[in-house]
Structure 1
Amino acid sequence: MKIVAANRLTDGETVWLGAGDRWVETIDAAHVAQDTEDEARIAAAGSAALAANIVIDVTLVDVEIAEGRILPKRLRERIRAGGPSIHPEIGKQARKAAQHAA
């Protein structure tokens, strides 16, 4: 299972490709590709957004579903989902919806 992560070009915010190929700010709203065909489709959508200067650092991220939530397998991506690790009251981890990720 994979999702697409990127950083929005206008403000650097970590975003994920969600339903309808829209960029969303929480990992729980990301579209999870279940097969290689869907992975190729979301990778192409990420590449198109990169070419259109909407996002940068487009990455396919390996994930698993744990207790109904999307959990990246790599620590780097878990940190990106939670926000800066400098203080729990700053960034995505300060939002209730993201507290599970970091």
Structure 2
Amino acid sequence: LLPPLPLYRRIMKGHKFLPLEMKSLGDQYVRDEFKRHAGIDNPLQVVGFLTQWKVYLDNIETQTGSADGFRGKQLDMEQFGKLSDEQLYQLHELMTVTREL
């Protein structure tokens, strides 16, 4: 598990290899999420937050390093079923914004 600041920096560095529109959207989203979660005191929430962003970082690093370029990854139904109402709303907002690009 990476500490928050090094994880944040590596994610932003990984975004350098994304297409410009995806980089811009990804940078803003990561910035907002890390700010939003900066004051969390619950250790379980902190570990969950950092763990999921590390999974994201691993995916970005793997996919941007491939010959095919960045492809993205399908959200599996098990993960989808575990999302809270707020997370579903954020996912819907993200989908709406990305379709406008």
TM-score w.r.t. structure 2 length?
Answer: 0.31
Whose helix proportion is higher, 1 or 2?
2
Relative contact order, higher structure (CA 8 A, sep 6+): 2
Whose strand proportion is higher, 1 or 2?
1
State the structure with more CA Rg.
2
